Chains A and B, each alone.
Chain A
Amino acid sequence: MEESLELVSAAAEKVNAFRHRVEQIRILPFPSENPKKLIELHFRIAKRLQVKLNEYYKDLLSATDSDIKHRILGDIKLLVNLVKRLAAELRFIEGAKVERTPWSLVQPVEKLAQKLLPGTRLIVRPQWHYNYGILEVIDTYKKATESFFDIKDKEEVFNGLPENIHILSFPGLERGNVLLHVNFGHEIGHPLVQQYLLKEDQNYLIDIRQEAAEATHETRPIFQILEVEELTKRVSEYRKKALQEILADLISVRLFGLAAVFAIYRISLFSEFFDNISEKSLYPPMRTRLRYCLDAIQWPQYSAALERTVRGLNDFLDVKNAVSSKIAQLQNLVRDKRDEENINKKIATRIAYRSVRKALPSALQFINQRTGDTAWHLNEKTAADVFRLVERLKNKVPPNEFASDKGGMKVGELAAIANAGWFYKLTYLPEIFKVDDPTEYFQEIDIINRLVLRGIEMSDLQREYVVFKGNK
């Protein structure tokens, strides 16, 4: 009995320590309400688990049957495992405090995500791992606590809190690199892609199975069936991951236009999987992803819009030329087909990527439909807006607004500001870099990041203020 009581005491210590950590994190400053909502959920779970543990303790004291005691002790161990897991996830919330995030960006990105999928809530936090990522937690917590809570407990714990909270992670090293954070567009695209994949017509499996059957060399019927099933399973996994990433890229391109392509290219520069599929995570090659992005941009139309706009605004010829030259460089990059050669080397990836190509038209239709209102196009009007925002940056002023042709000021859109930042960087920064003395280059990078971040924050405030004035 003593051993059992020791276990209960140790469990109580852990739950108490967890609750104490939650209380410490509760008072941190955050750039939005969501971390506070999630910490509130942790707090409620901790409180309920304390009650649950007390119940287990009483049951244990009154139990006479050793099997029952054994079962209760097993439940206590499961409860402690849950606490350990929740405690580890407190890092998501702790990391989301103001000083560790690009805080000016948090609310504008959440607003964009909400336009894409109403009700979406985000917690933006850095991670040590060099990657961007997104993870929904509320549903996971509901499942993880299911065996401990009855209906009344569940109501007490989850009622009044958001239905979903997505943890949006970015590489901690890049906190201030606002232009790279255009990749948030890719991440907030993932929940939408998930919706598509859930409702996708499963007929593609027939094609995959048929191709797998044709590819197998096994002649013995039973083994042939097993091999085909195994291959179909692998192909489906490759296909799913490829679609997840490629479609999320294409959503980012819909939201941010060229800025998305440049940001994806930047993140791909040091990727281990530029031409290969990651065997561990099944990520598609970056070159393949870039090719799809460039196809989606429909550069001839963009180029024509830039060309026509620049005719009326001669000052921006150098900007237009820099952007065109970058696109030419990327087009050249994707003309190289090393990635496709690697994909075709393996039967599973060859079938998977063929299936991806077949799926794309209907997937794109779904995405275009769902991103309709949020899509951003580089037409003559928006190109002129971007050029004027570049002019602000050139004069070292935040690109939150610009003087419109009609007189008065026009507030810049998030995508236009991001594109202005990239256009400016492509046009003016490379010339500044000097290997012997890069100080000036780094200062310029710092200034541009700060000005763009400021531009995003102020334009968001200006829009919010206009709504407030309208409602007054």
Chain B
Amino acid sequence: MATLSTREIKVWQKKKYPDRLIITPLLEEEEQIKDNTVDLRLGTEFIITRRTSFPAIDATKGIEIEQRIGQYQERIRIGFHEHFVLHPNQLILGSSLEYVSLPSQLSAYVIGRSSWGRLGLIIATATAVSPLFKGCITLELVNLGEAPLILYPGIRIAQLVLHTVKGKGTYSGRYNCSTGPEFSKIYKDDEMKFWQEKSEPNHLEQLLLEARAEIEELKTKIELSKNK
């Protein structure tokens, strides 16, 4: 496995399908591909977390998560030339503006840009991009700083580091051809069935969880009304 240099990235971009590396659109190709990395921009779609009565996320309850994910997370769109405020400790899912298609001989890592890191913005915790991946890369954005950060779709926010793979890589991912951020599909892990609780969770425990969630919701409402 070796990291691709700027020149090699450009060579892979010119190969014939299916060996071609595609990163599209590259609005400023010369600026975006340099120092052996490719700068990625922030896309226009986001998934934000709601404070709701959804008690807790149990990754072993696949159907429940699938049915109720809309209560917990919401997909929004911020147009170009508009902005989004990421508050301290808030997690949102965004995606790269660029659609990436990797051939079987390449894999990649997504890393944050240090300039953003210094402001407290942490990007992409799921950093590995497998060979044959096709889609916009989902970015997990968290503001670990003290001040809210204003983000504009289109700004350069992350970097892609490309590597060659020994032998032919495979991809059996769940996020193929995505054109925006994807909801978590952790519940699709087959092994979850093995790890889940043998018996149904205690009814009282469930009630307690729901009551806690409702209290949280009320607290938020009270805070919001105070701010008004």
| Contacts from A to B (Cβ < 8 Å) | 29, 31, 98-99, 103, 391, 394-398, 400-401, 403, 447, 450-451, 453-454, 458, 461-462, 465
Residues of A within 8 A of B179 (CB): 398, 450-451, 453-454
Cβ distance A447 to chain B, nearest Cβ, rounded Å: 5
Whether the Cβ atoms of A451 and B177 lie closer than 8 Å is: yes
Bound CA span A395–B103, Å: 11
Q: B24–A396 contact, CB under 8 A? A: no
The answer to whether B25 and A461 touch across the interface, beta carbons within 8 angstroms, is yes
Q: Which residues of A contact B76 (CB under 8 A)?
A: 29, 98-99
Interface string of B75-91 (1 = CB under 8 A from A): 11111100000000000
Is B25 a contact of A397 with CB atoms below 8 Å? no
Q: Is A395 within 8 A of B101, CB to CB?
A: yes
Chain A CB within 8 A of B152 CB:
no
Q: Which 3 A-B pairs have the closest CB atoms?
A: A454-B179, A450-B179, A98-B77
In the bound complex, residues from chain B placing their C-beta under 8 Å from that of A462 are 25, 27
A453 and chain B: residue at smallest CB distance: B179
Q: Which residues of B contact A99 (CB under 8 A)?
A: 75-77
* Interface magnitude class on chain B: 20 to 34
Which residue from B77, B79, B177 sits with its C-beta under 8 Å from A447? B177
Q: Kindly identify which residue among A103, A397, A403 contacts B99, using a CB–CB cutoff of 8 Å.
A: A397
Interface membership of chain B positions 165-194, coded 1 if the CB is closer than 8 angstroms to chain A and 0 otherwise: 000000000001101000000000000000
Can you sample 18 A-B contacts with CB below 8 Å? A29-B77, A98-B79, A395-B17, A395-B18, A395-B101, A397-B22, A397-B24, A397-B101, A397-B134, A398-B24, A398-B99, A400-B25, A450-B177, A450-B179, A451-B177, A454-B99, A454-B179, A458-B25
CA distance A409 to B146 in the complex (A): 42
**Nearest B residue (CB) for A450:** B179
A462 to B25, CA, bound (A): 7
Inter-chain CA distance A325–B216, complex, in Å, is 62
The CA-CA distance from A447 to B177 in the complex, in Å, is 7
> Given the complex of chains A and B, what is the CA–CA distance between A447 and B179 in angstroms?
9
Which residues of chain B come closer than 8 Å to A391, judged between CB atoms?
A: 17
Out of A31, A395, A398, A465, which one reaches B27, CB within 8 Å? A465
- The minimal Cβ–Cβ distance linking A237 to chain B, given in whole angstroms, is 43
**Given A397-B134, A465-B27: A103 and B101 within 8 A (CB)?**
no
Partner of B25, one of A29, A401, A403: A401
Closest to A31 in B: B79
The CA of A81 and the CA of B27, in the complex, are separated in Å by 52
How far is A391 from B16 in the complex, measured between Cα atoms in Å? 11
Rounded to whole angstroms, the CA-CA distance of A103 and B45 in the bound complex is 11
Q: Which residues of A contact B77 (CB under 8 A)?
A: 29, 31, 98-99, 103
| A-side contacts of B176, CB under 8 Å | 396
Which B-chain residue is minimally distant from A444 (CB atoms)?
Answer: B177
CB distance from B20 to the nearest CB of A (A): 8
Please measure, in the bound complex, the distance between the C-alpha atom of A447 and the C-alpha atom of B134, giving whole angstroms.
11
What residues on B are CB-neighbors of A451 within 8 Å?
A: 177, 179
- Report whether B25 and A396 are in contact in the complex, using a CB–CB cutoff of 8 Å: no
Q: Chain B 1-43 against A: per-residue CB contact (8 Å), 1 yes, 0 no?
A: 0000000000000100110101011010000000000000000
